[in-house]
Amino acid sequence: MVRKKTAKKRGSKRKSSRRASPSKRRAIVSRNKLNVALINLILFSVLSLISFGLYNMLSNEIYTNLFFMTSLILGFVAIAFLMVYLVLVFMKWLKK
């Protein structure tokens, strides 16, 4: 059996479903997101300070380089969580 090709109508368009425009949507800031960002900020800040303290205390070159790099990395991660926390706080503040 051979199927025949059906001709498509040129003027027919598919109807798209209506969605809310992106400007009408609002982000929901929950307490859980704020708490997670704050806990991670505190954790990485403390770890960065401990690593920086060990960097200053030790005299072996290998350990000083290791703790200097870890304090830099953990410090940048802590700064990133600070930015995330501030964005969430401002979003919550602007929502009200």
pLDDT band at 95 (very low <50, low <70, confident <90, very high): confident
The verdict on residue 87 lying in a domain is yes
The verdict on residue 64 lying in a domain is yes
Q: What is the per-residue pLDDT for 94?
A: 87
The verdict on residue 85 lying in a domain is yes
Q: How many domains does the chain have?
A: 1
Region 41-65: mean pLDDT is: 95
The verdict on residue 73 lying in a domain is yes
Region 60-66: mean pLDDT is: 93
Region 70-89: mean pLDDT is: 96
The one-character DSSP state at 22 is: T
Measured between alpha carbons, how far is 5 from 8 in angstroms, rounded to an integer? Answer: 9
Q: What is the per-residue pLDDT for 67?
A: 94
pLDDT digits 0-9 by tens, 12-29: 566 666 665 555 556 677
Measured between alpha carbons, how far is 81 from 87 in angstroms, rounded to an integer? Answer: 10
Task: Residue 37: give the domain boundaries.
Answer: 31-95
pLDDT band at 30 (very low <50, low <70, confident <90, very high): confident
| Average pLDDT along the chain | 84
HSE at residue 25, side-chain half, CA atoms within 13 A, is 6
One-letter identity of residue 31: R
